[in-house]
Structures are given as structure tokens and as C-alpha cells.
Structure 1
Amino acid sequence: MSLVINHNLMAMNASRNLQESYGNLGVSTRRLSSGLRVGTAADDAAGLAIRELMRADIKSLNQGIRNANDAISMIQTADGALGVIDEKLIRMKELATQAATGTYNSDQRLIIDSEYQAMASEITRIANATDFNGIHLLNGNVSGDHSGAGVRSTGKVKVHFGTGNDSAEDYYYIAIGTSTASALGVGLAAGNSISTQALAQESLDKLQNAIISKDKIRANLGALQNRLENTITNLSIQAENVQASESRISDVDVATEMTEFTRNQILTQSAVAMLSQANGMPRMAMQLIGG
């Protein structure tokens, strides 16, 4: 290499190496401070695209878990109300059994029937009043076909918990039968009374059927709750594994990156020292000129 004044090639080379080492040191600093191996698209273009898709899935899965938990709360609300209805039906059967015996006169049966009808009215009130977040559960509103076309969805409750829109994987419906007194076949709304001994005896069969109908609704709700709990377990495992995959792509390995940081730090310090030396090289020419 010639000793020249106009161009300091050694300083240029040292400067280029310094810029590279200092740039790498900056990348290591950014990664260690953020905890991310992929902070920009330039770090890993393909990895960034995959990571963002995974992040979207993770967020959707976690929201799906919350959706399923909300559905469980809704089911428990309906089941709790049906438990109260159950007590009313049991009391009505007790009253029908009482009125069916011949030791009571007509006036006494009318008194018994008044309580019987009050229980039926309370069943209807509970069925019409039970709601979850504004969704009425026991009056038949969630037993029909689902439609989400309007501002307010109607029919079956669609519980969405997956990352897509495939019914086999991402959602299913919760339908709850009607539990009013008329739907169960008891009370005046269903033409049912225990004001006479014969009517009281007939009511026993109707009450038995009503209790069975109510139990079927509760059993279906219990099965759905168990299914949702299993769904939550599966979603949690799925979200955990996708998060682990996203972490392997996105997160920095601190031990490896710290090694790179130290290496780049040494190279930067060395390049600074050599650039300082190279900047003094042209002065050697002055010794020849002066000599």
C-alpha cells in the first residue's frame, strides 16, 4: 500500500469496520433491551410474518377462553333459575297429591289450588325474568334458529371460541328450552287446575312430565357446561403451545445475544483505536517531505 496524502485508505477501511461493528452493537443492544430477537422486519422478514399470525391466533384463543367462561356463567345462571323452578314443581306436586285425596272438601281444594296457581305463576315469572347480560334464557328466546344478521342476535346462543369460522372447530350453539308454566304443561295457562279431586289426580301426571321436561333441560345444560370446560382446557393448551412457538421465533436468547454484544463491543473498541491510529498515518509522509 502506497504512502499517500490525498486518500487515507487505512482510515477508510477502519471506519467501515467501525460502522459495521457499531451497527451490530446497536442491534444487540436493542434486542437485549427489548427482549425481542425480531424487532423489525429487517431482522427476519419471514419470521416476522409468521410471528404476527401467531400473535393474532394467541389473542383469539385467549378471547375464546373468556367467551367459553362467559357461556359457562350463562349456563349456571339458567341452571340456578331452573333449580328454583324445580322447587316450585315439587311443591305443586305435593299440593296436587294433597288435593287428590278425598278428605278435603271443595272449599279447601280451592284454597289449595290458589297456592298451586301461585306457584305456576311464579314459574312463569322466573322463566320470563331470568336473563344473562340482557339475554332472556328460559322464555324460549334462545330455543329457535340462530340469526346474527341483526344488531341483536336471535335464537340459539352462538359461542365462538376458535380462531376461524368453522363450526366443527370454532363454535357451537347453546339452545335452552322454554320453562314457563304453560310450556311445562302446568297452571291455568295450560288449562291445569287441582280444584277438584279428579283434576288433582290428572295434574300428578302432568307434573311428572313437567319435572322430566325440566330435568332434560338441566341435563342438557350440564352436558354443555362440561363440554365448555373441556373446550377451555383444550384452548389453554393450544394457546400455550402457540405462545411457545411464537416465543422461539420472536424472543431473544439472552445468553447468545450477550455473547454477540460482548464480541461487537470489543470489535467496536478495537475499530475506534485503529481508526485513531490510521488517521495519524499521513503524518508519516511529512517526515519524508521534511527530510
Structure 2
Amino acid sequence: MVVQHNLTAMNSNRMLGLTTASQAKSTEKLSSGYKINRAADDAAGLSISEKMRKQIRGLTQASLNAQDGISAVQTAEGALTEVHDMLQRMNELAVKASNGTMSKDDREYVQNEVDQLVTEIDRVAETTKFNETYLLKGDDTKAPVTEGVFKKFDVSTLNSVISDTSKISESNDFDSITGKFTLKFTSGLAEGGTWNGKRIVAANAGNDEITLDDAKTAELAALQDAIDKSKQVTGTAANDGTAFDMTSTANMKQTYTHAAAIDLSLHVGADSTANNRINLSIDSMSASGLHVTGLKVNGSDATNATAAINTIADAIQKVSTQRSALGAVQNRLEHTINNLDNVVENTTSAESQIRDTDMATEMVKYSNNNILAQAGQAMLAQSNQANQGVLSLLQ
């Protein structure tokens, strides 16, 4: 019998320490609800769980993004409903003014209402916005151009002067100049050439309207030749039917007009890939965008009113096309939201299996450790009492 080292007590104390540590972990898991509270609990499981959490939170926000997109589409579509109604009323007025029983004064009264409706269409386009983003007036941002100087820019993107990627609407008039200047339409073309009417290069942008007012030495025929040689479109004096509308007048200016549109890109995924974006383009629905600015139904005869009927019909068709596109995007976004919510639900379930505490299993383990802890304490007390027998030998 020895008294310096109580091996029985030491063993009991060691086992009690292990039981207490295991009991503490069970308590932590039960109180937090997670079986992985630190990397040491399950290094691989933690890594997988965090990747799933990234996807879950990203997809949840993507679903909210898609919902915001639906709200923006509904805002634009609601405004276009009113534009449609106003155009239908304008059509009624144009048909009315086309009747031979109408006098010149009668047509003036009709013209007054048409003017008011055109103004209201402009107001709707100028004021309809969602979260400070104007939806119907296009994008009128442009870089300044110094008078008398042609700035270098690429027509394919028009980054410096007119952003083609934004489809910005504007009309730029350039006074006639002589001598050399830089005009670069596509990469690789020589710069510093002289515009003498013999060399005019066509841009590679589509669906643009170019009005060329004859300068002193520039010739419309040269523009046609350049378009023909580009092998993309065939130029005519009036309309090539594909990409360019050309008109020749007798002024000393060149005018470039670009169709207006605003592009919205909705991010509807957890990753940065391009297929996680839904792009939406809304044409300018202003009076100028619908080509009803200055619409005339007045006059001594029905000429103006008859022409206005066709103009209004084109405007109605443009609004109908835009509303149809908005409706299609809205339906797509609704399906997108349903899919995102489904993925979030299933991924959350998978992440829960990895990270969440199984309360029943952990309670069994906790109860077992609790019993072992009580037994360990009792055995430690008994081990400490064993050395008390040595005292009887000293009596």
C-alpha cells in the first residue's frame, strides 16, 4: 500500500475530466442548435456548409432582385396602359378630323385635344420611374462635344459621344467643316482623312437613322457607295429597308439620330456568370420616341388627319410590342422566382442535415454523459477514501 500515488483516484479523475468535456460539448450543441460550432467539430462539414450558406443567401437575394424586376415591369406596363389609351383617343380624333363634314375650325378644336394628349404622353414618359430609374424616356446621358471639333469615338459602342450599348436617344448637328479631321467608325480604319465627299464610311451599328444634309463638298452618293461597299446593307436615296434611313436636304449640316432605349439588367443568381442575368430593354415611349411629336390633324382638308391615322397606328403598334415584351419578361421572372425559392428550400434542407443538431441523438448522449459524470464523482470520492486505511496502521 502506497500513499504518494493514488492511481485509482488519478484514473477516476482522468475519466471524469473526459466525461465532463464531452458533456460540455453536448450542452453547447443542445443550446446552440448546431452540431458544428467550430471547425474542429467537423472541418469538412463546415466547409460544405459554408458553401451552401453562400448559395442560399445569394439565391434568396436573387429572388428579391427578381421581385424588384417584376415591380419595375409592372410600373412601366401600367404607365404604358395609359399611353395606349391616349393613343387610342388620338386615333379617334384623327378619324373624326378626316371626315369631310369637318370644317377648318372644327379640326382646330380637335387639334387642341391632340396637342394636350401628346403633351401628356411626354409627361408620362418623363416622370415614370422606379427607384429613381426613369423607365420610359430612354437614357439621355452623353459626353460633351466641343464646338467645331469632332471627338474620337467608336460607333460600335459610341462610348465617348453616344453610348450605343445604352441606346441613347439624341440628335447631334455638326456644322460643315473643311480640311482634315478624324472620323473613325471601325477599328483599323485610317484616321486623319479629308472629308471631301468622296470617302464616307458607314458605321457598323444597326437600326440607326442618319440624315445627311448636303455640305459644300459632301455628296449623298458617296454615302450610298460606302454603304454598298460595306456589304451589309444597300443604300438608296430614301430608305434601304434594313439599317439606314437617309434624307438629303440643302443645309450645311450633318445630323445623326439614334433610337432611344434603356437597358435594365437583373441579376437573378448566386454566382457572377452571365446566364444569371435577365436583360430588359424599354424603348423610349415619349412623343418623339413614338413619332407623334407635332402630329397634325388640322387644316382645310383631311390630308393631315389622314396621315396622322397611319402615324398613330405605328405608335400604337410600338407600344403594343413593348407591352408584350414587358409581359413576357414578367412571366419569366415569376418562373425564375419559383425556381429560386425551390432551390433555396432544398439547399437549406441539405445544409441543415450537415450543420443542425439532432436533438434526440444529442439528448441521449447528454444523459449518458451526465450519468457517467455522477458515477465518476462517486468513484473519485471512494478512491480518495482508500488511503484512509493507512492511518489504522499508525494506531
Report the TM-score, using the length of structure 1 for normalisation: 0.92
Q: Do 1:146 and 1:158's aligned partners in 2 also have CA atoms closer than 8 Å? A: no
Distance 1:279 1:155 in 2: 85
Q: Do 2:262 and 2:282's aligned partners in 1 also have CA atoms closer than 8 Å? A: no
Check if 1:14 corresponds to 2:12: yes
Distance 2:17 2:39 in 1: 21
Check if 1:222 corresponds to 2:327: yes
Residues 154-163 or 16-25, more deviating: 154-163
How far does residue 59 in structure 1 lie from its aligned partner after superposition?
Answer: 1.1
Distance 2:164 2:71 in 1: 21
Aligned to 1:285: 390
- Code of the residue aligned with 1:21 in structure 2: it is T
Match of 1:239 among 344, 352, 356: 344
Distance 1:125 1:59 in 2: 40
The residue matched to 2:265 in structure 1 has which SS?
Answer: strand
Q: Do 2:72 and 2:130's aligned partners in 1 also have CA atoms closer than 8 Å? A: yes
Distance 1:146 1:233 in 2: 30
Q: Do 2:262 and 2:283's aligned partners in 1 also have CA atoms closer than 8 Å? A: no
- Code of the residue aligned with 2:342 in structure 1: it is I
Q: Do 1:116 and 1:187's aligned partners in 2 also have CA atoms closer than 8 Å? A: no
Check if 1:164 corresponds to 2:267: no
How far does residue 65 in structure 1 lie from its aligned partner after superposition?
Answer: 0.9
Check if 1:194 corresponds to 2:297: yes
Residue-pair matches, total: 278
Pick closer, same or farther for the CA change 1:117–1:146 going to 2, 3 Å. Answer: closer
Check if 1:41 corresponds to 2:39: yes
The residue matched to 2:266 in structure 1 has which SS?
Answer: strand
How far does residue 206 in structure 1 lie from its aligned partner after superposition?
Answer: 1.1
Structure 1, unpaired ranges of 5+: 148-153
Pick closer, same or farther for the CA change 1:41–1:224 going to 2, 3 Å. Answer: same
Q: Do 2:135 and 2:262's aligned partners in 1 also have CA atoms closer than 8 Å? A: no
The residue matched to 2:283 in structure 1 has which SS?
Answer: coil
Check if 1:177 corresponds to 2:283: yes
User: Percent same amino acid at aligned positions?
Assistant: 38
Q: Deviations over 1:209-235 (max 9, x none)?
A: 111100000000000000000000000
1:199-278 alignment to 2 at 5 Å?
A: 199-278=304-383
Aligned to 1:150: none
Check if 1:103 corresponds to 2:208: no
Q: Do 2:128 and 2:135's aligned partners in 1 also have CA atoms closer than 8 Å? A: yes
Q: Do 2:264 and 2:280's aligned partners in 1 also have CA atoms closer than 8 Å? A: yes
Distance 2:73 2:314 in 1: 23
Distance 1:44 1:126 in 2: 59
Distance 2:374 2:23 in 1: 11
Aligned to 2:91: 93
Distance 2:87 2:166 in 1: 30
Aligned to 2:139: 141
Match of 1:65 among 41, 53, 63: 63
How far does residue 284 in structure 1 lie from its aligned partner after superposition?
Answer: 2.1
How far does residue 155 in structure 1 lie from its aligned partner after superposition?
Answer: 4.7
Q: Do 2:29 and 2:37's aligned partners in 1 also have CA atoms closer than 8 Å? A: yes
The residue matched to 2:288 in structure 1 has which SS?
Answer: helix
- Code of the residue aligned with 1:184 in structure 2: it is L
Distance 1:144 1:49 in 2: 44
How far does residue 144 in structure 1 lie from its aligned partner after superposition?
Answer: 5.9
Q: Do 2:90 and 2:114's aligned partners in 1 also have CA atoms closer than 8 Å? A: yes
Match of 1:79 among 52, 77, 80: 77
How far does residue 145 in structure 1 lie from its aligned partner after superposition?
Answer: 2.4
How far does residue 187 in structure 1 lie from its aligned partner after superposition?
Answer: 3.2
- Code of the residue aligned with 1:127 in structure 2: it is A
How far does residue 141 in structure 1 lie from its aligned partner after superposition?
Answer: 2.4
How far does residue 146 in structure 1 lie from its aligned partner after superposition?
Answer: 5.5
Distance 2:134 2:34 in 1: 47
Tell which has more relative contact order, 1 or 2 (C-alpha 8 A, sep 6+).
Answer: 1
Distance 2:87 2:32 in 1: 63
How far does residue 285 in structure 1 lie from its aligned partner after superposition?
Answer: 2.6
**Larger strand proportion of the pair:** 2
The residue matched to 1:173 in structure 2 has which SS?
Answer: strand
Distance 2:51 2:165 in 1: 33
The residue matched to 1:89 in structure 2 has which SS?
Answer: helix
How far does residue 52 in structure 1 lie from its aligned partner after superposition?
Answer: 1.5
The residue matched to 2:91 in structure 1 has which SS?
Answer: helix
The residue matched to 1:164 in structure 2 has which SS?
Answer: coil
Distance 2:129 2:377 in 1: 73
How far does residue 275 in structure 1 lie from its aligned partner after superposition?
Answer: 0.5
Structure 2, unpaired ranges of 5+: 141-162, 168-260
